Amino acid sequence: MDETSLRELLERALVPEPPIGPVGGNSLRAGIKFRRRRRMRAAAGGAAVIAVIAVAIPVVTGALGRTAARRTGTTAQAETVYVDRSVGRFVTPISTITNTAGKRIRVAKGATGIAITPDGKTVYVANWRADTVTPITTATNTPGKPIKVGKVPIWITITPDGQAAYVSNWGSNTVTPISTATNTAGKPIRAGHHPRMIAITPDGKTAYVVDEADHFPGGTVTPITTATNTAGEPINVGAAFPGTIAMTPDGKTAYVITNADTVTPITTATNTPGTPIQVGKEPYAIAITPDGKTVYVVNQFGCAVTPITTATNTPGTPIRVGRWPQGIAITPDGKTAYVTNTNSGTVTPITTATNRAGKPIRIDEGPGMMAIAITRNGKTAYVTNSMAGTVMPIATATNTLGKPIKVGRRPFALVIGPDSHGAGHH
């Protein structure tokens, strides 16, 4: 497939389709159908891959890739939510103290992946249509000079020490390391076929890149040694379409969703895959509790969430949630998981001690939620509503919805970081 066709397919996947909104029901269902056909026929395809990638990007931002600042403590702190806008050119900052949107920040067209350094001083935005990454200085909310990376950058993850950002370039089969001290790109690292999500071990020594395959079976995860920026031997996870990846807090195991309705655990000490864990239909998003004891897997077709006990890698009873669950985030104390249900127009809280779903939180603006992130003090969850062009704050103490925050058309992904210059700057 040539570059022009690739970009056209990705753009169509990101364009809204009524009634669900951008990257919503129609494109999602089409992607899943195509994906299943491809799995059965073991043949290469284009549109399905792009549709699935486009939908998957916001689900985990700020939750899985460890792109948000580390969430410690429970005291009230000034923080900022940064929201990007898929096929738009802007990022909108939101003050968590006032829940008001600040002046939008202009970046290149096609903002998708977004990450923030652990100290909260810089936000990095991947612009898939411009093949660049835009750094934003949070002290002034001003964009810096775009950093040229590979073709169709879609994901960014930052090392725990904040010294490097790793960008997956879906269109050029590479990962670009960026020095955050100088905002310069390093030499591209070859990383399989259509690299997607990246997870980094807590010690910062290894980045794991989920790669698609152009045949079945053949999907892999490529480990990259960050000290030398060299790729290791690809780890075969036994599916043509491995999806999202999450790392346990101790860094010992990476869990990878596959299109075989399984989750494959990878032992990072040896980079060996374990026995695939059977979960519900169409596993889509994944999150791990802060104590590392439980993995929660969102199953779209089953309208459920499957808990996995990490000590034994055994799945528990699926937890029923709303229609087309898509995003998941867990509070810093690990007591509650919040799941966004796109077609239901709800957010379902799950008590992790009992794995019971609570009363759905109705989003007044209607369906279209995508990404979710929770503040470091755990007091507020923020959910994007792509159809309404808003971000919805939820008070976790009472599970009540706050006033919608207008951010413009098609909010796509969000991260939350510490406010490096005090509250009220918006």
Token pair 């780890």 is found at 235
How far is 45 from 37, CA to CA, in rounded Å? 10
Question: Where along the chain do its domains lie?
Answer: 3-418
pLDDT exceeds cutoff 80 at 235? yes
Provide the mean pLDDT of the chain: 82
How far is 387 from 409, CA to CA, in rounded Å? 8
pLDDT at 2: 54
Residue 53: pLDDT band with limits 50, 70, 90: very low
Report residue 234 as tokens.
């690809």
pLDDT at 408: 87
- Cα dihedral sign for 63, 262, 39, 168? positive
157-184: average pLDDT: 97
Tell me which of 337 and 425 has the higher pLDDT: 337
Interval 319-332: pLDDT, tens: 999 999 999 999 99
Can you give the pTM of this predicted structure? 0.84
pLDDT exceeds cutoff 50 at 12? no
pLDDT exceeds cutoff 50 at 34? no
- The residue type found at 254 is A
* pLDDT cut 70: percent of the chain above it: 77
Interval 173-195: pLDDT, tens: 999 999 999 999 999 999 988 89
pLDDT at 212: 78
269-284: average pLDDT: 94
Q: Which of 15, 243, 221 is nearest to 129 (CA)?
A: 15
Tell me which of 11 and 247 has the higher pLDDT: 247
Interval 145-155: pLDDT, tens: 999 999 999 99
pLDDT at 329: 97
R_g of the chain computed on alpha carbons: 19
pLDDT exceeds cutoff 50 at 57? no
Interval 65-97: pLDDT, tens: 333 333 444 445 679 999 987 667 899 999 999
pLDDT at 85: 76
244-260: average pLDDT: 95
pLDDT exceeds cutoff 60 at 166? yes
pLDDT at 424: 32
pLDDT at 10: 56
Interval 404-416: pLDDT, tens: 999 988 888 999 9
pLDDT at 45: 31
Residue 348: pLDDT band with limits 50, 70, 90: very high
* pLDDT cut 90: percent of the chain above it: 64
CATH number for the segment(s) 3-418: 2.130.10.10
pLDDT at 259: 84
Report residue 148 as tokens.
């040229």
**Cα angle value 280/198/44 (rounded, 5°):** 65
Q: Please answer whether residues 19 and 26 qualify as being in contact, where contact means their C-beta atoms are separated by less than 8 angstroms.
A: no
